[in-house]
């Protein structure tokens, strides 16, 4: 994976706020979902966008939060919970506050793994989310 070519080798994800990690994680998750969808079949862009939006939403990510929690290392769970407990400036549009916060936690973990350069673990976690959730997409 070419993710590593975009990273600054001095980036230390431990030094970023959980909301900064979630900012990066949101983009990483969206890109991975879009890549999976395009790789699975050639579809019209409108259909792809609709499918991506169904997967990249707080409700789905909150389900993934609970699914992943028992599979995480102690440190990963701490990053996840730190993200969940952050106080986002935005409000959830189509989700409860709890779902939105859980989604922020998941995004923080994905951003952390991306900035850490742990792409194998990032993909392992993403694939767990995808395999469990792709029935809905």
Q: Rounded to 5 degrees, what angle do the CA atoms 127, 131, 134 make?
A: 120
Annotated active-site residue in 8, 26, 131, 134: 26
Secondary structure string (H, E, C) spanning 1-64: CHHHHHCCCCCCHHHCCHHHHHHHHHHHHHHHHHHHHHHHCCCCHHHHHHHHHHHCCHHHHHHH
Does residue 26 carry a catalytic annotation? yes
Nearest to 16 by CA among 84, 108, 103, 101: 108
Residues identified as active-site? 26
């Amino acid at each position: 994976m070419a993710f590593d070519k975009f990273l600054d080798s001095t980036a230390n994800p431990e030094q970023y706020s959980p909301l900064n990690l979630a900012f990066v994680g949101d983009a990483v998750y969206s890109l991975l979902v879009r890549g999976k969808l395009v790789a699975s079949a050639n579809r019209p862009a409108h259909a792809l966008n609709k499918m991506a939006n169904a997967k990249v939403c707080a409700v789905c990510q909150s389900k993934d939060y609970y699914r992943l929690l028992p599979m995480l290392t102690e440190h990963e769970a701490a990053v996840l919970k730190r993200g969940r407990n952050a106080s986002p400036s935005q409000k959830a549009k189509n989700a409860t506050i709890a779902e939105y916060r859980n989604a922020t936690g998941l995004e923080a973990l994905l951003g952390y793994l991306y900035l850490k350069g742990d792409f194998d673990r990032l993909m392992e976690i993403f694939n767990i989310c995808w395999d469990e959730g792709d029935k809905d997409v």
